[in-house]
Amino acid sequence: MNSLIIKHGRVIDPANRVDEVRDLFITGGKIAGAASSKADVIDATGKIITPGLIDIHVHLREPGRSDKESIETGTRCAARGGFTSIVAMPNTTPAADNTGTIAFIKQRAAEVACVNVFPAGAITKELKGEELAPIGSLKRAGVVAITDDGRCVQNNELMRRAVEYAKMFDLPVMDHCQDYNVAADGVMHEGYWSAALGLRGWPAVAEEIIVARNILLAEITDWHIHCQHLSSARSVELVRAAKKRGVKISAEACPHHFTLTDESVKEYDTNLKMNPPLRTEADRQALLAGLADGTIDIIASDHAPHCTYEKQVEFDVAPFGIIGLETELALSLALVHQKVLTLPQLIEKFTINPAKLLRLSKGTLSTGADADVTVIDPVAEWTYDVEQSASKARNSPFHNWNLKGRAMITIVGGKIAWQLE
């Protein structure tokens, strides 16, 4: 399709403070100011039209573990979830700590991806936290951020130097906040339920120590650090206070952390084992408050696919992580239905906020912008069947959940990447 008219939808474009029922025109892969004479028409009556959704925290597993996921299957999963752009984490095999691996990811995405794939580069070589990766070379190779996600740099001096180098190359730093000494060998949140279930506890302070560290480093370097997947109330408080001081700090939350709690683990379902772990109801409420007041800028999935056999083991030895791209939007729309967020506030966290963080020319429906568009039915009721997922993996705790709201059409560069039949 070269030209499209999406008619009668409620256009929500936070970047331009637009929220009104109107038509959207697409010509030549770009948002147009007027209709083309030969355009296909999509009736979006009763639907929401937004800039293409962006997920900045996705594990595609390729290269190295395409038995878990691949760029092809992971991007199909993203399209089904309404996402037109995703950021691929660097904990691949080999790690994305060199220009060759970044070139492979970009080439492979160009060949098979149905959405935009933006690679993140590693902070340290092999994600070992010992020696800086070639940050300048990674920037030239096309990374949009650096992170050791899945790992956390424990050496504070090394992390400071990483942030300073990132500043030189205008790259945001994203950090998985986890003090290994404090987290130790914990497998779930340390509290009542870990004691009741006899599982090793992982205290929230393991996250909070690194959040505090990152705030101090962002302050001393005057550069942006983004804290990934916050899970604790005190982390939210720390970020809120730092923002009030003008520190260049931001944060994201994942749907599983603001939807579930550590009590959910009581059946020992390994699909509820994640990093950071599910925490208490008080922590969940703090995340909701942080989302509502803007302390938490972005919602991301931390889509982490694993093979079924890897999860079909004892809770202690199962890998951390769940898939989330297909359920992320519906679980987040629940915040609108519960009046935690307005629709424009929610869309902001999926569009312009991640685009600004990563300096992407995405997240807007401005005339001339790339025609990445998501059409959403906010009240469509459906049941998530993980067996029908586009992902290779099946490790979701939301199988058979009744959900409300979903993407109906995902358009990338003016072409329909996915449409609900």
Give the mean pLDDT of 214-242: 98
Name the active-site residue from 302, 370, 372, 377: 302
pLDDT in tens, 49-78: 999 999 999 999 999 999 999 999 999 999
Residue in the block written with tokens 């404090």: 182
The residue with greater pLDDT, 35 or 215, is 215
Confidence class for position 1, pLDDT limits 50, 70, 90: low
Percentage of the chain modeled with pLDDT above 90: 98
Distance from C-alpha of 238 to C-alpha of 86, rounded to nearest angstrom: 27
Mean pLDDT of the chain: 97
Nearest residue to 128 via CA among 184, 90, 77, 164: 90
Q: What is the pLDDT of residue 421?
A: 84
Percentage of the chain modeled with pLDDT above 70: 100
Pairing of β 201-202 and β 188-189: parallel
Q: For the chain, give the secondary structure using H, E and C.
A: CCEEEEEEEEEEEHHHCEEEEEEEEEECCEEECCCCCCCEEEECCCCEEEECEEEEEECCCCCCCCCCCCHHHHHHHHHHCCEEEEEECCCCCCCCCCHHHHHHHHHHHHHHCCCEEEECECCEHHHCCCCECCHHHHHHHCCCCECCCCCCCCCHHHHHHHHHHHHHCCCCEEECCCCHHHHCCCCEECCHHHHHHCCCEECCHHHHHHHHHHHHHHHHHCCCEEECCCCCHHHHHHHHHHHHCCCCEEEEECHHHHHCCHHHHHHCCHHHCCCCCCCCHHHHHHHHHHHHHCCCCEECCCECCCCHHHHCCCCCCCCCCECCCCCHHHHHHHHHHCCCCCHHHHHHHHCHHHHHHCCCCCCCCCCCCECCEEEEEEEEEEECCHHHCCCCCCCCCCCCCEEEEEEEEEEECCEEEEECC
Whether 2 has a pLDDT exceeding 80, the answer reads no
Is 114 within 8 Å of 80 (Cβ atoms)? no
Is 418 within 8 Å of 76 (Cβ atoms)? yes
> Catalytic annotation on 19?
no
Give the mean pLDDT of 384-412: 98
Domains and CATH numbers, the chain: 52-361 (3.20.20.140)
How far from 59 is each of 64, 82, 89, 196, CA to CA, in Å?
12, 17, 5, 32
Query: 8: number of CA atoms within 13 Å, CB side?
Result: 6
Buried b (16+ CB within 10 A) or exposed e, 67-83: ebbbbbbbbbbbbbbbb
Give the mean pLDDT of 86-96: 97
Nearest residue to 141 via CA among 191, 189, 96: 96
pLDDT in tens, 166-216: 999 999 999 999 999 999 999 999 999 999 999 999 999 999 999 999 999
Whether 357 has a pLDDT exceeding 90, the answer reads yes
Whether 92 has a pLDDT exceeding 80, the answer reads yes
Nearest residue to 72 via CA among 110, 112, 111, 45: 112
Q: What is the pLDDT of residue 38?
A: 86
